[in-house]
Structure 1
Amino acid sequence: DRPQRVPLEHGDVVVWGGPARLRYHGVLTLKQAQHSLTGACRYNLTFRRAR
């Protein structure tokens, strides 16, 4: 499959699981800007269920 670009904006959430979690993925670097709440930061959260 060819890579697909998906534009993300402030407040967007990306969720995937199952077989899709093994696909290659990446997030482009941030543009130079300041957000009123987070400054020049991006937060990445990963949740996994322990068994």
Structure 2
Amino acid sequence: MFLFGGWRRGDRPLRIPITHGDVVVWGGPARLRYHGIAPLKAADHAFAGSHRINLTLRKAGP
């Protein structure tokens, strides 16, 4: 569950269901909103085992 919050930490986040292989992309002023992933249930994946892999990509200036 991806949690897309507001401008303040106390704002109630929008809960967006995501599954294996999903990508979440946002930018502009929204990049400053609070966000995160809800805790995962214990499970094993064939590749990652019991770990979650998170990639964060940013566009760098010249």
Same fold (TM over 0.5): yes
> What TM-score does the superposition give when structure 2 sets the normalisation length?
0.70
* Alpha-carbon distance in structure 2 between the residues aligned to 1:12 and 1:50: 23
* Alpha-carbon distance in structure 2 between the residues aligned to 1:39 and 1:18: 34
Q: How far has the Cα of 1:43 moved from its partner?
A: 1.1
Is 1:29 matched up with 2:6? no
Gaps of 5+ in 2: 1-5, 7-11
Q: Paired residue for 1:14, among 18, 24, 32?
A: 24
| Structure in which a larger fraction of residues adopt strand | 2
Is 1:40 matched up with 2:50? yes
What value does the CA root-mean-square deviation take over the aligned residues? Answer: 1.4
SS in 1 for 2:40: coil
> What TM-score does the superposition give when structure 1 sets the normalisation length?
0.81
SS in 1 for 2:31: helix
Gaps of 5+ in 1: none
Count of equivalent residues: 51
